[in-house]
Amino acid sequence: MSKMSELDLCVGELRSAAQSLNTVADSLTSLFSGSQPRTSVQPESKPTSKPLTLEDVRAVLAEKSRNGHTAKIRELLEKHGAAKLSEIDPKKYAALLAEAEVLGNG
């Protein structure tokens, strides 16, 4: 993977992590204040970002697997209806990545 591809992947992961942190903060705020969580005004898909590729997802999952999360990766693949990554619908890549990114963070 080229350095630019790695950098692009890292930036995407940072953005996803930031969005996840905002969601958690909103949930905690609503939990302790008794109010409803605010809804995000950001669009679901960003037109300026490129779509995720099989290689992008494979790189992240391979890193998680090397860090000892192979069994959890398999569970995520099965949850998304596949035995291996190449069987996953590309439309599900973002959701799969979001779930995989939290592995090892807790």
- Per-residue pLDDT tens for 53-86? 999 899 999 998 999 999 999 999 999 889 999 9
pTM over 0.75: no
The two structure tokens encoding residue 17: 């992590």
Euclidean distance between CA atoms 35 and 54, whole angstroms: 40
Q: Residue 66: exposed, middle, or buried by beta-carbon count in 10 A (0-12, 13-18, 19+)?
A: exposed
Euclidean distance between CA atoms 8 and 56, whole angstroms: 10
One-letter amino acid for residue 83 of the chain? A
* Three-state SS at 31: helix
